[in-house]
């Protein structure tokens, strides 16, 4: 298992968060196998793997019941481990090859309105000192580029190019896949204000870290702290619904598509490997059009 997890990090470029999730999934799998009297991967048969799928969906092993998306990840981890063992010569067969992970239902992404985004951004900049400038720049960047929270907090100053005719940012997504995304005027203003007036003060407390967003100790802002920044701003803005960093990413995509952007352009901006993922957002805009039509057209109602 250690070899497989190391392979995921070194050869596949998976993030530490994904690897940690795979580790938990595989530890649960090995406990399940042990309870069935199975000591090695070579002894596993297809019904054993299929039984594990039922276990994670039912909690029959006394552990938590996994949602379809988490169960799918758990089965993917198991299948990858068996495939790795076969390729490495540890086993002579892959008992998981015919076992398919549960298909998670396609949930429509949650987005907030443009007016709510504006309230959120204004709320982030309330107060004095360098922190409000940092918080405003962070949220402007998340909404203005559709960046994932991990991409934003991992951003280095050299990844920003704000001086050209079209300001851009280099983002590094899943598997360290790089993409260049334009940065809008409002985000550029917020970033420049932070970099000139706030970041130097925060950096003095640290040791010259190159990342863009720093905490009050001069160290890189963590994902958890960035999440807290957003939650606090959402509370001050009076947003009742749960607002997460992904909410801003969803809103970025939804508002682009509502404004007429091509879905393949949005795919590139988001860093999606497949346009199918991006097309979830088109369902949101189509639903909005249906609602407007039903409410406004004189022949749409009984």
Catalytic residue among 106, 197, 246, 290: 246
How large a percentage of the chain has pLDDT more than 90?
52
279 contacts 257 by C-beta, under 8 angstroms: no
Catalytic residue among 4, 29, 52, 281: 281
Domains of the chain: 2-87 (1.10.150), 114-293 (1.10.443.10)
Confidence (pTM): 0.62
Catalytic residue among 148, 199, 250, 255: 148
pLDDT in tens, 182-230: 899 999 999 999 999 999 999 998 888 999 999 999 999 999 999 999 9
How many beta carbons lie within 10 A of that of residue 20, not counting itself? 12
169, two tokens:
């940012």
The residue behind tokens 């130097």 is: 200
Name the nearest CA neighbour of 53 among 35, 37, 30, 29: 29
Catalytic residue among 73, 79, 199, 249: 249
CA distances from 2 to 8, 80, 81, 85, 255 (A): 10, 13, 10, 12, 43
pLDDT in tens, 45-82: 999 999 999 898 888 888 988 888 888 889 999 999 99
* Cα angle 237, 117, 276; round to 5: 135
- Whether 174 is catalytic is yes
Catalytic residue among 174, 179, 223, 236: 174
> For 209, what's the count of Cα atoms within 13 Å in the CB-facing half-sphere?
21
67, two tokens:
């949602």
- Whether 246 is catalytic is yes
The whole-number pLDDT of residue 93 equals: 93
- Whether 281 is catalytic is yes
> For 77, what's the count of Cα atoms within 13 Å in the CB-facing half-sphere?
26
């Amino acid at each position: 298992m250690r070899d497989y997890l190391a392979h995921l990090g070194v050869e596949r470029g998976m993030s530490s968060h994904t690897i940690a999730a795979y580790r938990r999934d595989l530890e649960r799998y090995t406990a399940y196998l042990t309870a069935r009297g199975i000591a090695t991967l070579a002894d596993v048969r297809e019904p054993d793997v299929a039984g594990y799928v039922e276990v994670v969906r039912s909690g029959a092993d006394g552990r938590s019941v996994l949602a379809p998306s988490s169960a799918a990840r758990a089965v993917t981890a198991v299948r990858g481990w068996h495939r790795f063992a076969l390729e490495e010569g540890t086993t002579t067969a892959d008992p998981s090859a015919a076992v398919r992970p549960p298909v998670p239902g396609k949930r429509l992404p949650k987005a907030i309105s443009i007016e709510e985004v504006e309230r959120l951004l204004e709320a982030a900049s309330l107060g004095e000192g360098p922190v409000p400038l940092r918080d405003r720049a962070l949220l402007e960047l998340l909404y203005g580029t559709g960046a994932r929270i991990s991409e934003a907090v991992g951003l280095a100053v050299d990844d920003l190019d704000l001086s050209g005719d079209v300001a851009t940012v280099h983002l590094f997504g899943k598997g360290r896949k790089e993409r260049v995304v334009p940065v809008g005027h409002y985000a550029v203003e917020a970033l420049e204000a932070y970099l000139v007036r706030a970041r130097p003060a925060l950096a003095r407390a640290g040791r010259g870290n190159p990342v863009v967003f720093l905490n009050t100790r001069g160290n890189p802002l963590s994902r958890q702290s960035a999440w807290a920044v957003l939650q606090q701003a959402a509370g001050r803005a009076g947003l009742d619904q749960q607002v997460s960093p992904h909410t801003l990413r969803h809103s970025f995509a939804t508002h682009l598509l509502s404004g007429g952007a091509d879905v393949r352009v949005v795919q590139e901006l988001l860093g999606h490997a497949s346009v199918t993922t991006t097309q979830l957002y088109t369902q949101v805009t189509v639903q909005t059009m249906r609602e407007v039509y039903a409410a406004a057209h004189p022949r749409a109602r009984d």
